[in-house]
Amino acid sequence: MHQRFMKLTEIWIYPVKSLGGIRLQRANVLPKGLEYDRRYMLVDENNRFITQRVFPQLALFKLTLDDNVFTVAHGNDTIDLPKQPELNDKLTTVTIWNDAVEAVELDQKYNQWFSDRAGIQCKLIFFPEGNERPVDKDFAKNNEQVSLADGYPFLIIGQSSLDELNTRLEVSVPMNRFRPNFVFEGGKPFEEDNWGDIKIGGNGFTGLKLCARCVLTTVNQETGQMGNEPLATLSRFRKVGSKVNFGQNLVARDHLEVNEGDTIEVESFQ
């Protein structure tokens, strides 16, 4: 039988898409995702999103959260990003996958800082809360919106799923290869695959679809180097059609708060 008692052990946000994550003890659940999660993004000269899939060196940008700013560090160099930038009228259309969204251009000093350190010409943009980006209509339950995450507002992975994967790898990988928002303990490996409605603390979520994984999982987040694992091994036992799945994408039914240590209750299965 499914183990009913599970516990939320880690909460993560990634304020700038495809850069380092920040672990939180508590977070506000907003319709587009956790507060501050993937509201910033780097784009190229054609205003198209850039990620570690093509530029693994982006892993070397690490973030910390202070009172009013995110501090981005690259080696010994740092720059501060406002948690909530001043919204100017400089709206620009940027592309993320097949979506075109309206975003705010930031000061040129940010573009220069990131371009110099990433070694690519890029611009930093911010995605305001009120701007639209619908979740894929084939999977959305209630016309949900999403931030600049790949496609869905929340991603949950069980620690036992990672533990099971690591038994099959010569060199274990940490959870940061998979960039979840929520990590939980308890339950069987891949328990999360079949979840329908769940509660994390008092907050309701609904599982939409398994998360299809890509080469980003092969980037070592400490070194920025790309390899073959864990994607090669995952593709041997987690492949459905052309997709290699790991983790479950969620939307929120309530917009309250989640806390480390919250109990996770599975209310229904898909």
Predicted confidence at residue 242, as pLDDT, reads 96
What does the pLDDT profile of the chain (270 residues) look like in tens digits?
Answer: 454 679 999 999 999 999 999 999 999 999 999 999 999 999 999 999 999 999 999 999 999 998 889 999 999 999 999 999 988 778 999 999 999 999 999 999 999 999 999 999 999 999 999 999 999 999 999 999 999 999 999 999 999 999 999 999 999 999 999 999 999 999 999 999 999 999 999 999 999 999 999 999 999 999 999 999 999 999 999 999 999 999 999 999 999 999 999 999 999 999
CA distance 228 to 215: 8
For the chain, domains (ranges, CATH) are 6-266 (2.40.33.20)
Predicted confidence at residue 203, as pLDDT, reads 98
Strands 154-158 and 182-185: parallel
Predicted confidence at residue 246, as pLDDT, reads 98
Predicted confidence at residue 4, as pLDDT, reads 60
CA distance 151 to 52: 16
Residue with structure tokens 């993004």?
Answer: 41
Predicted confidence at residue 158, as pLDDT, reads 98
Measured CA distances, 31 to 71, 97, 206, 252, 258 (Å): 25, 20, 13, 7, 14
Residue with structure tokens 């205003």?
Answer: 47
CA distance 44 to 124: 9
